[in-house]
């Protein structure tokens, strides 16, 4: 293809298990956008994951990471394979990109697309609409620690919880900025400062300070355990939740259950202060080894993730088009069994692309093109 300055280079990293299956569908959607929608996309396929690692020991090469830095976005499936018991490849690839590109905000929207997907008694989809800002570069994920006398009765294992002022402040600012630009009135910060008093006291102080800079937005603190209870009992109370890396990981799987499961949950990893930098987009779900190879994985999370990516790259109307198409597929039952249908991954993918292709054609003929 001709590479113009506006061309967006997108690294496609399917990874392992169902990651490969859902990203194959998502990649075809991007091809459709390139061929029919006229989007200037340069798709760059990355053969990284368990197969490659087991074959030649490669995880995330430095030169590939350097090229990722110069790209517009990464679309990632999932990493994790039972043949690699310590999941070394998964950490080195996933954290290689999250940490290596300083993608400090893991943005995970929680908004069920149909009433039928909401598992809570007496709750409708419209009552659940919040977004989790998960700190994505430090905390207990910082890989500082060690083991002593491994395998003996006197073994010691330590993982340090790293919280820097800069790191805590920038994720809290990102959450408030998001609230401000989207007209939200409340930001919840969840920590465990009653038990983890050193690190989470820092979160408390920074949250109060940043909160004071946004007079129109209410900053509310909750302990993470109580927040989990309330997310299930009264999800309508939440608009924006900001929390650390580990708590954000856990609460977004819980929140995915409110959306119809992991097959429906999309996410973005961004350097929020500078959106022109490369960003990574991935469904919240993992490689689901038990589901892999059965053509049974729900590709909607991957499609909705493509929507987030296209919006980030400057095409917000395409995020809406993809979301509306997923809603239509759900309404017609053209979906996988986890969300009430009887189709396989590929058939759902073909349906979604067929609908989007028709919608793009209709738009073009309206313009007389």
Q: How far is CA 33 from the centre of its chain?
A: 21
Strands 186-191 and 73-78: unpaired
Burial call 94-123: b when 16+ CB within 10 Å, e when fewer: bbbbbbbbbbbbbbbbbbbbbeebbeeeeb
Measure the CA–CA gap between 206 and 222, rounded to whole angstroms.
Answer: 15
The verdict on 161 binding ligand IPM (CB under 6 A) reads no
- Which among 107-115, 170-178, 211-219, 285-293 is the span making contact with ligand NAD, rule CB under 6 A? 285-293
161: contact with Mn ion by CB under 5 A: no
- With CB atoms as reference, the residue minimizing the distance to ligand IPM is 249
The CA-to-CA distance between both ends of the chain, in Å, stands at 21
248 binds, among ligand IPM, Mn ion, ligand NAD, none (CB under 5 to 8 A by kind): none
d(CA 170, CA 175): 9
**For residues 179-238, which are near ligand IPM according to CB under 6 A?**
none
When asked if residue 135 is in the footprint of ligand IPM (CB under 6 A), the reply is: no
Which run of H or E residues covers position 255?
helix 245-258
Regarding 249 and contact with ligand IPM (CB under 6 A), the answer is: yes
**Residues 6+ positions from 34 with CB-CB distance below 8 Å:** 1, 40, 41, 43
Residue 282 touches Mn ion, criterion: CB under 5 A: no
How far is Cα 244 from Cα 248, in angstroms, rounded to an integer?
A: 6
Site for Mn ion in 242-261 (CB under 5 A): 249
Residues binding ligand IPM: what is the number (CB under 6 A)? 6
Angle, alpha carbons 7-325-334 (nearest 5°):
130
Q: In angstroms, rounded to a whole number, what is the distance separating the alpha carbons of residues 179 and 183?
A: 6
Indicate the residue among 290 and 362 with the shorter CB distance to ligand NAD.
290
Annotated catalytic residue, options 51, 102, 253, 295: 253
**Contacts (CB under 6 A) with ligand IPM, residues 300-319:** none
SS3 353: helix
Residues 317-346 that bind ligand NAD (CB under 6 A): 338
Among 163, 259, 269, 287, binds ligand NAD (CB under 6 A): 287
Q: Which of residues 81-120 bind ligand IPM (CB under 6 A)?
A: 90, 94
Using the minimum distance from each CB to ligand NAD, give the nearer residue, 87 or 204: 87
Angle at which helices 18-35 and 300-312 cross, to 10°: 50
In terms of CB distance, is 109 or 286 closer to ligand IPM?
Answer: 286
CB of 286 to ligand IPM, least distance (A): 6
Q: Is 192 a catalytic residue?
A: yes
Distance CA 279, CA 276 (A): 8
Taking the least distance from each CB to ligand IPM, the nearer of 178 and 285 is 285
Tell me whether residue 160 is exposed, middle or buried, using C-beta atoms within 10 angstroms of its C-beta: 0 to 12, 13 to 18, 19 or more. Answer: middle
Contact 351, 298 (CB under 8 A): no
Q: Which CB atom, from 282 or from 318, has the smaller least distance to ligand NAD? A: 282
Smallest gap from residue 253 Cβ to ligand IPM (A): 7
- Rule CB under 6 A: choose which of 109, 248, 263, 307 binds ligand NAD: 263
The full length of the chain comes to 369
Q: Is 301 a residue that touches ligand NAD (CB under 6 A)?
A: yes
Nearest to 26 by CA among 76, 92, 64: 76
* Catalytic residue numbers, as ranges: 141, 192, 225, 249, 253
Give the residues lining the site for Mn ion (CB under 5 A).
Answer: 249
Rule CB under 6 A: which residues touch ligand NAD? Answer: 18, 22, 78-80, 87, 90, 94, 261-263, 282, 285-291, 297-298, 301, 338
Question: Can you give the binding site for ligand IPM, defined by CB under 6 A?
Answer: 80, 90, 94, 249, 284, 286
């Amino acid at each position: 293809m001709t590479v113009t300055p506006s061309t967006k280079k997108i690294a496609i990293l399917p990874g392992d298990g169902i990651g490969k299956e859902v990203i194959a569908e998502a990649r075809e959607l991007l091809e459709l956008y390139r061929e029919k929608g006229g989007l200037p996309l340069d798709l760059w396929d990355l053969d990284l994951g368990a197969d490659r690692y087991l074959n030649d020991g490669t995880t995330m090469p430095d030169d590939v990471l350097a090229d990722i830095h110069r790209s517009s976005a990464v679309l990632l499936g999932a990493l994790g394979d039972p043949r690699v018991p310590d999941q070394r490849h998964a950490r080195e690839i996933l954290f290689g990109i999250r940490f290596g590109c300083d993608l400090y905000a893991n943005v995970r929207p929680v908004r069920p697309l149909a009433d039928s997907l909401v598992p809570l008694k007496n709750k409708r989809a419209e009552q659940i609409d919040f977004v989790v800002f998960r700190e994505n570069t430090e905390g207990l994920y910082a890989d500082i620690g060690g083991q002593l006398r491994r395998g003996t009765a006197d073994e010691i294992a330590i993982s340090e919880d790293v919280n820097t002022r800069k790191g805590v402040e920038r994720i809290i600012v990102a959450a408030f900025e998001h609230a401000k630009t989207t007209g939200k009135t409340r930001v919840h910060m969840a920590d465990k400062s009653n038990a983890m008093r050193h690190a989470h006291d820092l979160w408390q102080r920074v949250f109060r300070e940043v909160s004071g800079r946004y007079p129109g937005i209410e900053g509310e603190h909750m302990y993470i355990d109580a927040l989990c209870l309330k997310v299930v009992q009264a999800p309508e109370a939440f608009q924006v939740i900001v929390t650390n890396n580990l708590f954000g990981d856990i609460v977004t799987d819980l929140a995915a259950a409110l959306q119809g499961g992991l097959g429906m949950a999309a996410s973005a990893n961004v350097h929020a202060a500078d959106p022109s930098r490369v960003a990574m987009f991935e469904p919240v779900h993992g490689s689901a080894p038990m589901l892999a190879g059965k053509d049974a994985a729900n590709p909607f999370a991957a499609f909705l993730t493509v929507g987030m990516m296209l919006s980030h790259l400057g095409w917000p109307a395409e995020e809406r088009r993809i979301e509306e198409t997923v809603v239509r597929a759900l309404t017609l039952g053209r979906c996988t069994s986890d969300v009430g249908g009887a189709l396989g991954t590929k058939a759902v993918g073909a349906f979604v692309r067929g609908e989007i292709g028709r919608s793009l054609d209709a738009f073009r003929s309206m313009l007389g093109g």
